[in-house]
Chains A and B, each alone.
Chain A
């Protein structure tokens, strides 16, 4: 999506757009990166108000939260595209202003934009871009070596959104920290999107008291001070979305897992606030089979792996639930680079006990930390540091049948959680950020649903 320069931009912004495009093209040509960050840096150096200029005249939606950003951004972009034409988006997950500059610098003037936003940058961008919709997914701990006070993030979101009178805020009613942030906004839309990790949510953001959760997930929550789960506008009931006026819409997804149904509900609710009907957006969303490689089936080390990304305890819980009913071997990859957080102590917040009885291989640069964790979880496993060798070892341990030469009914053995293309995979691979991208970069072939 390369467009001519927008003649309505100020001269300085036009120069900045040219600089952004040239540097990104160079960076891609030199193989220095994905070509989304360097150009943004240069563009913002040329014109610090570049984002504001680029957003003028566009309909903008922002998506933020700890988990599900990239997927929900993609689903919302797809939902809008059917009605609004092409949508500018930072599909590669470059979710800081440099990435936003790049996404908008290549988009024709006037196209709508759906941008994934890092939690810390959201307040600034709400002021700069004046979005039509903001989607707030959830807030939980991530990257222990950085100071990570999720309550502080919630308060910063709250201040920014309270001042934005034209923005519809689509917010997860099951996460108290998200509700706290969205409550003073002019047009909150409450979605019962679930919260499987509650440990970061028990401290009441309103009074520092204690939030009590009643019953199972989605069963409501309240603090003695009166701060409580709002009445929801959108809820999930099995494979249906239920609106507060009683209307029901069938939700069919190629993406697996409860959390992706929640992401889809959030995306469709945001699309509805932007004028796209539920049936239309859910039809578009249904066809998405993988997002930036997540949940795709790739050829690695001579066999096929369904690859998944989890970055923190909340995300791992969701994915362990997803793979638990299956039978195929599970390869777990852990690195601890800057992008992952350099302290993998969070492994002890993840219920790896759920993998007991499975064929498990620990891999990645911090496979030793994972191995100790699995040992104490009574999960028998092997440890193979190289990720591709680990996938291969898991597959061999499982019988090592020829990829593609599997019996046709094998997919049926993997349980109802497997939908879309998953039935074709020999192993499941779950990695944290750089472990996941490492495997993706070494995959020889990629198939989509």
Chain B
């Protein structure tokens, strides 16, 4: 089973602000650990996007995000890869630029790469910063854990499914996070998302290789997942008790 897999991290010089390059490391390692030869390519924005079997895009600053979108539209490699069925994982700014439109630093709408039927506008409220938990809506994946850090609100069109329903956090801003069309997956989750959610990594790998993959020993990942999930839920329970207490006090105070 010596499939050689090329994992391309897209524009780490522009979309590498939030450690999302780790998604490429996770994909390549999980392939290698199963005896599948894997090559990790960091494709900086000064050259054409190389051919690959799967692509990862990460988060970045406003100006860098716009520059990356412009180059990807002009280059065309990513769109052709998606047509051929290559999986794409796009996070935060990378997710936004794969949509129809996204917001420039001044709020102006800019044309995206158009691989996902979503549009992102600048939010008016506070930036969404913090731990996020979301229940995936397809493929039987376990709950997704990550850290979100974005100001944009993303609206889904009719030709796309949400990735997950948000249990705690903001995500797209309508109670869901991310978007999926075919093998293109967008999400707001950093962490990196595949380090915290190895099942999602394996789903993308099975798409790319066409193989059903045997499980790995994910003891480290499981311990991290348990800790993050229970930290968020404990905080929620604490807040719930606080609200309940306040409510009880107000009721008692009134009587």
Q: State yes or no: do A and B come from one complex.
A: yes
A binding-site residues for B, Cβ under 8 Å: 141, 144-145, 147-149, 151, 199, 202-203, 208, 210, 342-343, 345-349, 368-369, 371-373, 375-376, 378, 383
Decide yes or no whether B129 CB sits under 8 A from chain A. Answer: yes
- Kindly state the separation between the CA atoms of A199 and B18 in the bound complex, as whole angstroms: 12
Q: Pick the contact of A368: B12, B14, B67, B223 (CB < 8 A).
A: B223
10 CB contacts below 8 A, A to B, read A144-B17, A151-B63, A343-B147, A343-B190, A345-B20, A347-B19, A368-B227, A371-B224, A375-B221, A376-B195
Q: Pick the contact of A375: B63, B147, B191, B220 (CB < 8 A).
A: B220
Decide yes or no whether B29 CB sits under 8 A from chain A. Answer: yes
Q: Is the CB of B223 within 8 A of A371?
A: yes
Decide yes or no whether B22 CB sits under 8 A from chain A. Answer: yes
- Kindly state the separation between the CA atoms of A276 and B223 in the bound complex, as whole angstroms: 56
Residue of A nearest to B64 (CB): A203
Q: Could you say which residues of chain A place their CB within 8 Å of the CB of B130?
A: 145, 342
Q: Is the CB of B192 within 8 A of A345?
A: yes
| Known A145-B129, A149-B61; contact A345-B224, beta-carbon cutoff 8 A | no
- Kindly state the separation between the CA atoms of A148 and B64 in the bound complex, as whole angstroms: 13
| Known A342-B130, A345-B20; contact A145-B149, beta-carbon cutoff 8 A | yes
Residue of A nearest to B44 (CB): A202
Q: Is the CB of B220 within 8 A of A371?
A: yes
Q: Could you say which residues of chain B place their CB within 8 Å of the CB of A199?
A: 12-13, 16
- Kindly state the separation between the CA atoms of A376 and B53 in the bound complex, as whole angstroms: 20
Instruction: Output the least CB separation between A296 and chain B (Å).
Output: 30
Q: Is the CB of B46 within 8 A of A368?
A: no
Residue interface mask B49-65, A partner, CB < 8 A = 1: 00000000000010110
CB within 8 Å of A: which of B108-151? 127, 129-130, 147, 149
Residue interface mask B18-30, A partner, CB < 8 A = 1: 1111100110010
Instruction: Output the least CB separation between A178 and chain B (Å).
Output: 18
Q: Could you say which residues of chain A place their CB within 8 Å of the CB of B64?
A: 203
Q: Pick the contact of B220: A151, A346, A368 (CB < 8 A).
A: A368
Q: Pick the contact of A348: B13, B19, B67, B220 (CB < 8 A).
A: B19
Residue of B nearest to A369 (CB): B224
- Kindly state the separation between the CA atoms of A143 and B67 in the bound complex, as whole angstroms: 24
Q: Could you say which residues of chain A place their CB within 8 Å of the CB of B45?
A: 210
Q: Is the CB of B19 within 8 A of A346?
A: yes
Residue of A nearest to B198 (CB): A372
- Kindly state the separation between the CA atoms of A347 and B192 in the bound complex, as whole angstroms: 10
Q: Pick the contact of B221: A202, A347, A348, A372 (CB < 8 A).
A: A372
Instruction: Output the least CB separation between B138 and chain A (Å).
Output: 25
Q: Is the CB of B190 within 8 A of A368?
A: no
| Known A343-B149, A376-B26; contact A349-B223, beta-carbon cutoff 8 A | no
- Kindly state the separation between the CA atoms of A144 and B127 in the bound complex, as whole angstroms: 13
Residue of A nearest to B226 (CB): A368
Q: Is the CB of B63 within 8 A of A208?
A: yes
Q: Could you say which residues of chain B place their CB within 8 Å of the CB of A144?
A: 17-19, 149, 190
Q: Is the CB of A348 within 8 A of B17?
A: no
Q: Is the CB of A343 within 8 A of B18?
A: yes
A144-B149, A210-B46 given; 14 more Cβ-contact pairs under 8 Å: A144-B17, A144-B19, A144-B190, A145-B149, A199-B13, A208-B67, A342-B147, A348-B22, A349-B16, A349-B21, A371-B223, A376-B22, A378-B29, A383-B220
Instruction: Output the least CB separation between B67 and chain A (Å).
Output: 7
Q: Could you say which residues of chain A place their CB within 8 Å of the CB of B220?
A: 368, 371-372, 375, 383
Q: Could you say which residues of chain A place their CB within 8 Å of the CB of B129?
A: 145, 342
Residue of A nearest to B151 (CB): A147
- Kindly state the separation between the CA atoms of A348 and B25 in the bound complex, as whole angstroms: 9
Q: Is the CB of A147 within 8 A of B13?
A: no
Instruction: Output the least CB separation between B130 and chain A (Å).
Output: 7
Instruction: Output the least CB separation between A354 and chain B (Å).
Output: 15
Q: Could you say which residues of chain A place their CB within 8 Å of the CB of B191?
A: 345
Instruction: Output the least CB separation between A367 and chain B (Å).
Output: 9
Q: Could you say which residues of chain B place their CB within 8 Å of the CB of A348?
A: 19-22, 25, 192, 195
Q: Pick the contact of A376: B16, B18, B25 (CB < 8 A).
A: B25
